[in-house]
Amino acid sequence: MNKELRKGLRTWIEIDKKAIAHNYRVFRNLIDKKCKLLAVVKSNAYGHNLMEFAKEQEKLGVDFLGVDSVVEALTLRKEGIRIPILVLGYTLPEMLSEAASKNISITVSNFETLSVVIKSKLKIKIHIKVDTGMSRHGFLENDIEEVLNKLKNNKNIIIEGLFTHFSMAKNPSFPAHTNSQIEKFEKWREAFIKALHKPLCHASATSGTLLYSKAHFDMVRIGISLYGIWPSKESEAYMGDMISLKPVLSWKTIIAEIKKLPKGAKVGYDCTEVLKKDSVIAVCPIGYWHGYPRALSSIGKVLINGEKAKILGRVCMDIIMIDITNIKNIKVGEEVVLIGKSESSEISADDISALIDGSSYELLTRINPLIKRIYI
């Protein structure tokens, strides 16, 4: 990357637009031409920058964008995004008017919200959410008749969608629960069609799209894999020979200081690391405030010129110390890779998450949104 693009930055994130396009095409090719694709860009686009990532998806031709809140949706509208947006999370009653005026579709998942929407008399697009086995947001199986009765003869509400969410679709070895959810959703789908409604039916997020083609219905919702991350090791093992995903995000910092320390020197807070030999350490201006997990203390590794360097001692709020004893010709200002590739070596979000028994979803979404994302 051109150094001018990261001038003045001690840490930054690079976003690969070619990788974004590649992952988009992978999922377009997996679904029927008539099936719509919703790109999930909630939570700052999984840490990749809400506005920029959404704009890339719009350029590529995505049909819908999925966000968590009306606030996120309004941010996209202010940035000039014109394609359909669905709020997947709970919408506060006081936000209904703005959602309607900006052509933002909302999720209705309980009778309280449905009553508020009906009483508002707003012309608003809604997606009815059904709880088929996640035990989270959504109407229950025996609510079908009452929901349809409340929607009857209501001319203001536009029933744009009907959807559910799978809870165990990431592992193809255990399909029973997902198949049960599909069957329950089919009952809702048939009831809505019988009542002369024609909503966009969608059930599959990334895992469901990869592993359950019968559940593609009218639209799929793709999140984590648009960013080049497999939703699970099991889905990668099952589909990895058929499709390839390209990680979109790289996270980098620099070396701010280098020092030689003798054997026995204690490193960092609480002196948790004691050097076993004379060593050369480097200090990098990155820490848990930036979203780099404190759990990586004394076990994490970073990359410098293709070589791995171990983290020494505690990850601090804004600083990490690394062992560069065996890496030659290193100087202050040298680029350090936290997530991504350096020459022939790579540290992925999955690698880090596995090391701390965490989740790549959590790791990526917790990267501080104030860190500049550079789209290249």
Output the average pLDDT for the chain.
97
- Please report which confidence band the pLDDT of residue 313 belongs to, taking 50, 70 and 90 as the band edges: very high
Percent of the chain with pLDDT over 70: 100
Within a domain: 11: no
pLDDT tens digits, residue range 20-48? Answer: 999 999 999 999 999 999 999 999 999 99
Within a domain: 7: no
What CATH number corresponds to the domain at position 172? 3.20.20.10
Within a domain: 2: no
- In the predicted model, what is the mean pLDDT of residues 11-23? 98
- Residue 184 identity (one-letter amino acid): K
Who contacts 126 (Cβ-Cβ below 8 Å, separation ≥6)? 105, 106, 107, 108, 117, 157, 158, 159, 160, 161
d(CA 321, CA 309): 10
d(CA 106, CA 90): 8
- Consecutive H or E run containing 40: strand 36-40
Domain identity same for 150 and 190: yes
Domain identity same for 181 and 284: no
What CATH number corresponds to the domain at position 352? 2.40.37.10
Who contacts 61 (Cβ-Cβ below 8 Å, separation ≥6)? none
Structure tokens at 39: 């790109």
Residue 87: predicted pLDDT: 98
Domain identity same for 82 and 149: yes
Domain identity same for 82 and 230: yes
pLDDT tens digits, residue range 64-86? Answer: 999 999 999 999 999 999 999 99
- In the predicted model, what is the mean pLDDT of residues 233-261? 97
Within a domain: 205: yes
Residue 25: predicted pLDDT: 98
- In the predicted model, what is the mean pLDDT of residues 254-276? 97
Residue 345: predicted pLDDT: 98
Domain identity same for 265 and 210: no
| Residue 38, CB-side half-sphere exposure with 13 Å CA sphere | 28
Residue 138: predicted pLDDT: 98
Domain identity same for 163 and 75: yes
Domain identity same for 316 and 191: no
pLDDT tens digits, residue range 93-150? Answer: 999 999 999 999 999 999 999 999 999 999 999 999 999 999 999 999 999 999 999 9
Of 239, 268, 285, the one marking the end of a domain is 239
Residue 356: predicted pLDDT: 97
Within a domain: 3: no
Within a domain: 5: no
Domain identity same for 115 and 40: yes
Domain identity same for 297 and 222: no
Q: What residues are paired with 309 via a beta bridge?
A: 302
- Please report which confidence band the pLDDT of residue 3 belongs to, taking 50, 70 and 90 as the band edges: confident
Among the listed residues 18, 233, 259, 269, the single catalytic one is 269
Quote the domain boundaries for residue 350.
249-375
Is 375 a catalytic site residue?
Answer: no
Among the listed residues 36, 42, 125, 252, the single catalytic one is 42
Q: What is the tally of structural domains in the chain?
A: 2
pLDDT surpasses 90 at 208: yes
Domain identity same for 110 and 141: yes
Of 239, 274, 299, the one marking the end of a domain is 239
Within a domain: 108: yes
Residue 117: predicted pLDDT: 97
Grouping H, G, I as helix, E, B as strand and the rest as coil, residue 274 is strand
d(CA 137, CA 163): 11
Residue 121: predicted pLDDT: 95
- In the predicted model, what is the mean pLDDT of residues 269-277? 96
Domain identity same for 106 and 147: yes
Phi, psi angles (nearest 5°) of residue 268: 80, 180
Is 42 a catalytic site residue?
Answer: yes
Structure tokens at 106: 């909302």
Domain identity same for 207 and 137: yes
Of 182, 210, 239, the one marking the end of a domain is 239
Within a domain: 213: yes
pLDDT surpasses 90 at 294: yes
pLDDT tens digits, residue range 150-193? Answer: 999 888 999 999 999 999 999 999 999 999 999 999 999 999 99
H helices of the chain, in order, are 17-30, 42-47, 50-60, 70-78, 96-101, 111-120, 144-151, 176-194, 206-211, 233-239, 349-355, 360-365
